[in-house]
Amino acid sequence: MVMATPVVAILGRPNVGKSTLFNRILRSRVAIVEDFPGVTRDRLYREVTWDDRRFILVDTGGLFAETDDPINVATRRQSLFAAEEADIIILLFDGKEGLTPLDREIVDLLRDLKKPIIYVVNKIDSPEKESHMLEFYELGIDELLPLSAAGGYGFSDLMERVISLLPGEAEERKEDEVPRIAIVGRPNVGKSTLVNALLSKERMIVSPIPGTTRDSVDSLCSYYRRHYLLIDTAGLRRKSRIAYPVERFMSLRAINSIERADVVLLMVDAREGITEQDQKIASLVDRYGKGLIILFNKWDLVENPDERYRQLQREMSWKLHFVGYAPFLTISANTRKRATKVFPLIDEIMEERRRRIPTSELNRFIREIEPSLPAYRGRKTKIYYITQTGVEPPQFVFFTNRPESFKPETIRYIERLIRARYPFKGTPVRIYVRKRNRE
């Protein structure tokens, strides 16, 4: 991943307050914060501006001790990846629990990276409690900073130290030029595996256990020198199965990722087909006006692909007729088969979402279709003119003498006529009707 902006990573063993510090620096609740270890499993990236200096802040799941647990092993690996990517490391200790053997192991591990490390003892909320820091000097550290990530004690000193260590100003990439791509779908459908395939490296924790990815994690990737920001999201679950507060927060996070995106990749298990939950996710994407691509994943596991392809085409026309504008691909994220074909589609959809049609051209078009519009109570409907009022998604306003004649089915009919000439591939189209009296 190529980033011109400096990277600051927060590391430490689990449950020392990394996500609390992350949220305080961002001045918002971005990372999931709970009272049990291991909630943040992946690296979580956000851009920060502090004292007119920009940097990328990274929250990590924690450096676990050596273990056979696959999730803990993967989380430890993710934290080490973050340390390798970082320009500056903030290493947190727990001032309440005190120095542990794992703290010693982490310090030895990070020293080998030869990077600036800010050593911080968290959960110190007053000068009287700074005596709790003394035992940490056994680690051979010259400077320790006291901090209460929850309460703010020592926070300004920490940020002053971070800013002082940032490298010189780097050339910034214009973020508005980078399409934002959200990857959504039910749990365990292969979202993180797809991100890894598109990035061509192990970026997310991938596990057969549903719910492994809990946060939305942004990754910048490039394809033929074009850049894309990938947002891997926690799986959207059915409401009835969201049993714990952290699970509910994950679903809200996935919805937030859809809101942030330009184009959404909806992943569906090709063997199971389109479920009711997939329909609801597609409806959500349409409601937010985002571009949409349907990806039928795990194609390498499908028996009789030709017949299954025809079945899925029928399912699309039946179950996802309301997003009939969305193209679909059959892929295997695991083998990376056809995975990169999403990029040309994304480019095409972005172009369609930004397409503007001149008013003069639209009005010539409307004169052609006006005779086919239904009458209202035996009286002819007159359209005075039509204009495009917005993009992303494309929006049109019709000015007419009888807005009441434009029933939902009439508006859908007009949309089909518009798309017959201007496809607007992969993106919703918004049509509004306004009354105008004849002058």
pLDDT at 32 over 90: no
Instruction: Check whether 241 has a pLDDT greater than 80.
Output: no
Q: Determine how β-strand 217-223 pairs with β-strand 226-232.
A: antiparallel
* Contact (CB, 8 A) for 291 and 263: yes
Cα distances (Å, whole numbers) of residue 356 to 272, 351, 361: 39, 10, 11
21-30, 110-119, 198-207: range with lowest mean pLDDT: 198-207
pLDDT confidence bin for 69, thresholds 50/70/90: low
State phi, psi for 248 to the nearest 5 degrees: -65, -40
Backbone angles phi, psi at 171, to 5 degrees: -65, 130
Instruction: Let me know the angle formed at the C-alpha of 194 by 39 and 278, rounded to the nearest 5 degrees.
Output: 80
Q: What is the mean pLDDT of residues 21-31?
A: 77
Percent over 70 (pLDDT), the chain: 78
Of 38 and 396, more confident? 396
Tell me the mean pLDDT in the region 174-189: 78
Q: Taking 80 as the threshold, does the pLDDT of residue 37 lie above it?
A: no
What is the DSSP secondary-structure string of 64-103? PPS-S-HHHHHHHHHHHHHHHH-SEEEEEEETTT---HHH
> Whole-angstrom Cα distance, residue 399 to residue 403?
8
Does position 228 have pLDDT exceeding 90, yes or no? no
Average per-residue pLDDT for the chain: 81
Report CA dihedral (358, 361, 367, 369) to the nearest 10 degrees. Answer: -90
Contacts of 279 (CB under 8 A, 6+ apart): 319, 320
> Using an 8 Å Cβ cutoff, are 116 and 89 in contact?
yes
Q: Round to whole Å and give the CA distance between 99 and 136.
A: 6
In this model, does residue 4 exceed pLDDT 90?
Answer: no
- Residues 356-383 have a mean pLDDT of 81
Dihedrals φ, ψ of 279, to 5°? -60, -40
d(CA 127, CA 111): 29
Q: Which of 363, 368, 404, 369 shows the shortest CA–CA distance to 386?
A: 363
Q: Name the CA radius of gyration of the chain, rounded.
A: 26
Residue 249 clears pLDDT 60, i.e. is over it: no
Q: What is the pLDDT of residue 352?
A: 96
> What is the enclosing helix (H) or strand (E) of 57?
strand 53-59
Q: What is the mean pLDDT of residues 263-272?
A: 95
Residue 169: per-residue pLDDT: 55
Contact 188, 208 (CB under 8 A): yes
For 337-350, the DSSP string reads: BTGGGHHHHHHHHH
Out of 145-154, 236-245, 350-359, 392-401, least confident range: 236-245
Tell me the two tokens of residue 265: 């990749």
Q: Which structure tokens are listed for 49?
A: 């501006």
Q: In this predicted structure, what is the pLDDT of residue 70?
A: 58
Q: Please indicate whether residue 76 or residue 132 has the higher confidence score (pLDDT).
A: 132
Which residues, at least 6 apart from 101, have a Cβ–Cβ distance to it below 8 Å? Answer: none
Q: What is the dihedral of CA 31, 35, 40, 46, to 10 degrees?
A: 20
pLDDT class of 286 with cuts at 50, 70, 90 = very high
Beta-carbon contacts of residue 319 (< 8 Å; ≥ 6 apart): 274, 278, 279
pLDDT grade, residue 187 (50/70/90)? confident
Residue 164 has pLDDT above 50, yes or no: yes
b/e string for 288-327 if b means 16 or more Cβ within 10 A?
A: bbbbbbbbbbbbeebeeeeebeeebeeebeebbeebebbe
Average pLDDT for 195-199? 84
Relative to beta strand 383-390, strand 395-400 is antiparallel
pLDDT at 175: 43
Work out the pLDDT band at 28, boundaries 50, 70, 90. Answer: low
The reported pLDDT for the residue numbered 208 is 45
Please tell me what DSSP assigns to residue 370: G
Q: Taking 90 as the threshold, does the pLDDT of residue 86 lie above it?
A: no
Q: Is the pLDDT of residue 202 over 50?
A: no
330: confidence class by pLDDT, cuts 50, 70, 90:
very high
Tell me which residue of 87, 95, 153 sits closest to 118, measured CA to CA: 87
88 - beta bridge partners? 8
Inform me whether the pLDDT recorded for 322 exceeds 90.
yes
pLDDT value at residue 43 = 56
> What is the pLDDT at residue 39?
38
More confident residue, 326 or 284: 326
User: Does pLDDT of 439 surpass 70?
Assistant: no
Q: Which domains, and CATH codes, for the chain?
A: 7-165 (3.40.50.300), 175-353 (3.40.50.300), 359-435 (3.30.300.20)
Count, residues in the chain: 439
Strands of the sheet containing 430-435, edge to edge, are: 383-390, 395-400, 430-435
Chain centroid to Cα 267, Å, comes to 14
Mean pLDDT confidence for 221-225 = 78
388: CB partners within 8 A, 6+ apart? 356, 357, 359, 362, 394, 395, 396
Minimum mean pLDDT range among 55-69, 158-172, 198-212: 198-212
Number of Cβ atoms within 10 Å of the Cβ of 67:
11
